[in-house]
Amino acid sequence: MPEDSSGSSGAASADTPVAELVQRATEQITRLVRDELTMARAEMTAKGKRAGMGAGLLGGGAMLGFYGVGAVVAAAVLTLGAFMPDALAALIVAVILFIAAAVAARRGKKQVTKAMPATPTATRDSVQADIETIRGAAGRRRP
């Protein structure tokens, strides 16, 4: 009862829960932002790895294509030099290299396409959901 007789004690106790709620909200928002940044970092790391793998496969496909051109040139030289079965062998090797180049390039392009867009879409969606949750909670508390 002594608290009731003192008007300042009642005012301080009424302010304490609001201050505590503000402090909790600040801590939760800080934790939420840190968690979202951690999630964005992890997502961008995964996309970077996928894009790197795709670029490597594209480079490998280009190199195999270059070797295919070399084999076609060698086949043309052998064909023009003498009509021998060696030319046919060189053409077969060239076809195999071109097929391998096409397969590697297609896989590389698929990997790069999966990695794009280079924005952390899962994190963006999570942040949007957080914003909607906060707006919904704020709307319910309004008198």
- State yes or no: pLDDT of 110 exceeds 80: yes
Question: What are the pLDDT digits (tens) for 112-135?
Answer: 888 776 677 777 788 888 888 877
Full-model pTM: 0.42
**What span, in angstroms and rounded, lies between the C-alpha atoms of 96 and 88?**
13
* CA angle, 47 then 134 then 129, to 5°: 30
